[in-house]
């Protein structure tokens, strides 16, 4: 998770509970519209008490189910990329557009501060410039035959998360 994201500790806890409850492989909270949003599919939808099954989760703050992260790291990722394209790589490797296990949780929001609020300089650019990161991604994508899924919502799950999670927690505590 990027170190400058703004999300409350209770919302982080809720994110873990939601991901576990729905058995999501990779998920993320929706990005607050007051901040940076690189991909429209990560922008919150109209309904706030829902999650959207998507073909994409951004590398900014993915929450992986442990076995899926281990699989990606052991079987696919070679450490050659810095940020750019890793989200497309894990989406391809884990079948984001096939298995309905990736989601953007509109019930939770995370604020990704605008570059202008941080002096206009992205920290990652100090490590590697955007053009270099893009070229590295394109080389990996082409060499490994990685396809970039169309970034879209595949399904919408409307539910009262607090109700579902409270019942489950009560059973676990019971």
Q: pLDDT (tens digit, 9 = 90+) per residue, 6-56?
A: 999 999 999 999 999 999 999 999 999 999 999 999 999 976 779 999 999
Burial 32-49 (b: 16+ CB within 10 A, else e): beebbbeeebbebeeeee
Q: What is the pLDDT of residue 165?
A: 54
Quickly state the pLDDT bin for 162 (edges 50, 70, 90): low
Residue 92 domain flag: yes
Residue 168 domain flag: no
- pTM of the predicted model, to two decimals? 0.88
Burial 20-30 (b: 16+ CB within 10 A, else e): ebbebbbbbbb
pLDDT top residue among 115 and 156: 156
Residue 81 domain flag: yes
Residue 152 domain flag: yes
Across the chain, mean pLDDT equals 88
Residue 174 domain flag: no
Residue 169 domain flag: no
| Domain carrying residue 89 | 9-162
Q: What is the pLDDT of residue 161?
A: 61
- What's the structural domain count of the chain? 1
């Amino acid at each position: 998770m990027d170190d400058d994201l703004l999300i409350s500790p209770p919302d982080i806890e809720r994110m873990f509970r939601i991901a576990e409850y729905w058995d999501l492989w990779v998920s993320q909270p929706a990005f607050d519209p007051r901040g940076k949003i690189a991909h429209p599919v990560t922008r919150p939808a109209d309904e706030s008490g829902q999650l959207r099954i998507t073909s994409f989760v951004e590398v900014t703050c993915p929450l992986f189910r442990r076995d899926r992260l281990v699989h990606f790291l052991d079987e696919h990722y070679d450490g050659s990329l810095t940020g750019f394209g890793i989200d497309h790589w894990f989406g391809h490797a884990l079948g984001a557009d096939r298995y309905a296990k990736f989601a953007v949780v509109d019930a939770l929001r995370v604020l990704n501060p605008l570059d202008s609020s941080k002096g206009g300089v992205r920290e990652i650019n100090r490590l590697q410039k955007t053009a270099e990161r893009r070229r590295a991604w394109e080389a990996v994508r082409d060499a490994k035959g990685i396809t970039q899924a169309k970034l879209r919502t595949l399904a919408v799950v409307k539910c009262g998360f607090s109700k579902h999670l409270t019942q489950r927690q009560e059973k676990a505590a019971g």
